[in-house]
Amino acid sequence: MTGRHWIVIAAAVAVIATGCGKKEPTAPAAGAEKKFTIGYSQSTLQDPWRKAMNSELDVELAKHPNVTLNKQDAQNSGK
């Protein structure tokens, strides 16, 4: 092999070797908090039981400002 082939092979080995290094996970930025969106649907939101459940969800949701809750009312529709 010529000298040029050895240079190309050495460069390829160097590129492959650097790609195999152990990477440290990056920490989230200070104060950064994950945000979550939760969605659910009910056949109706008019039953007393479902109203109570929604009230309880709202109480818990207030404790977690990084969570968004999307409620959907199907209004007893089968569509």
Radius of gyration of the chain measured on its C-alpha atoms: 28
Average the pLDDT over 73-77 and give the result. 86
pLDDT higher than 80, residue 79? no
pLDDT of residue 27: 66
> Greater confidence, 2 or 38?
38
Q: What is the pLDDT of residues 16-74, one digit of tens each?
A: 777 666 667 666 666 678 999 999 888 888 889 989 999 999 999 999 999 999 988 88
pLDDT of residue 5: 75
Contact in structure between 37 and 70 (CB atoms under 8 Å): yes
In a 3-state reduction of DSSP, which class is residue 39? strand
